[in-house]
Amino acid sequence: RAQQGLKDYYRDYFPIGVAVSARDLTGPDTTLILQQFNSLTPENAMKMGPIHPEENRYNWKDADAIVDFAVSRHLRVRGHNLCWHEQTPAWMFKDANGNPVTKEVLLQRLKEHITTVVSRYKGKIYAWDVVNEAVADDSTSLIRNSPWYAICGEDFIAKAFEYAHAADPDALLFYNDYNTERPEKRERVYKLLQHLVASGVPINGVGLQGHWSIFEPTASELRTAIDRFAAIGLKVQITELDISVYPWEKNRRPRRPDEHDEFTPLLQQQQADQYKMIFSIFRHSPIGGITFWNITDRRTWLDNYPVPGRKNYPLLFDTNGQPKKAFWEVVNF
């Protein structure tokens, strides 16, 4: 195992976090978490579906376990997330007869949800992903056509930040999204954020998720994105980092039965080079934190996604929890 953890190598730069589930905190990866990271993000436990399954019932178990662990071990916590189009329980958008609720009712429910969750962890969660992935993937519209948008128009975004700020004025409030280095999406996110800031919405930062691959982003795309968002006056964090060993543009082709998903020496080298490049940019950029999305290659959300049955190797620790070539490139500076 590495003698020092990532958090020690990067002490003078930024906190280094990892996305976890409650069961990671009592399992074989607990030692690795404590050795390597100084910040945690609940991978799923604080999303609306898991934490607020019915209108009058909250399920705090896993979220509390993660926050209690972090507080007792002096780790920071990023809360994830308060408003998203995925993992939102169906009841949120329906009245007792199964009809869509009005904008007024939906905003009242959003307010109740955000106030309850943020207040519970006030002082323990230093930053919240308030709105997640609200910008559309294609250029036909700025905001994604989700039930939030269909019922409220774009007002739900500003309101979510206002509710969160009222519940914990000291928490840093983030907008979080993916593909923010691709010029088209980057500019749409920029437009939204600039508008929020100009309207006086209490937003402090932008989370660039960082679900990247050995081929993207390029150094110049990454630098441009960070600089452009920082120029609005927002804090910039990388919130969900992993480097897929498969190019995203080829992800949609069907998987051939003879493919073996081996993590070849060539892929190991390409991944190490990509990690080296992005971290050298991070060290010279106004980046306020990096969070990896999962702990080791033993379990990652990219296993089976978007190609069913396919194994991926996107993290800095291998399937045995040992540091990979990419780890040594990241800490060797």
Residue 24 in contact with residue 298, Cβ under 8 Å? no
User: In terms of CB distance, is 36 or 132 closer to ligand G3I?
Assistant: 132
Residue 223 in contact with residue 160, Cβ under 8 Å? no
Torsion sign across C-alpha atoms 155, 157, 162, 163: positive
**Shortest distance in whole angstroms from residue 98 CB to ligand G3I:** 24
**Shortest distance in whole angstroms from residue 44 CB to ligand G3I:** 5
**Shortest distance in whole angstroms from residue 39 CB to ligand G3I:** 16
- Annotated catalytic residue, options 240, 259, 262, 329: 240
Report phi then psi at 298, rounded to 5.
-60, -40
User: In terms of CB distance, is 9 or 294 closer to ligand G3I?
Assistant: 294
Based on its alpha-carbon atoms, the radius of gyration of the chain, rounded to whole angstroms, reads 20
Residue 226 in contact with residue 190, Cβ under 8 Å? no
- Residue by residue, DSSP assigns 259-318 as ------HHHHHHHHHHHHHHHHHHHTTTEEEEEESSSSTTS-TTTTSSSTT-----SSB-
Residue nearest to ligand G3I (CB): 301
SS3 192: helix
* Residues in a beta bridge with 267: none
Q: Both tokens of residue 145?
A: 């056509």
User: In terms of CB distance, is 30 or 44 closer to ligand G3I?
Assistant: 44
User: In terms of CB distance, is 129 or 329 closer to ligand G3I?
Assistant: 129
Angle at 258 between CA 253 and CA 264, to 5 degrees: 85
Residue 117: closest CA among 63, 161, 69: 63
* Measured distance CA(223)–CA(178) in Å, rounded: 16
**Shortest distance in whole angstroms from residue 145 CB to ligand G3I:** 18
User: In terms of CB distance, is 131 or 329 closer to ligand G3I?
Assistant: 131
104: annotated active-site residue: no
Residues near ligand G3I, by CB under 6 A? 43-44, 86-87, 132, 209, 240, 301
User: In terms of CB distance, is 29 or 43 closer to ligand G3I?
Assistant: 43
Residue 77 in contact with residue 239, Cβ under 8 Å? no
On the question of a cis peptide bond just before residue 306, with omega within 30 degrees of 0, the verdict is yes
Catalytic residues: 240
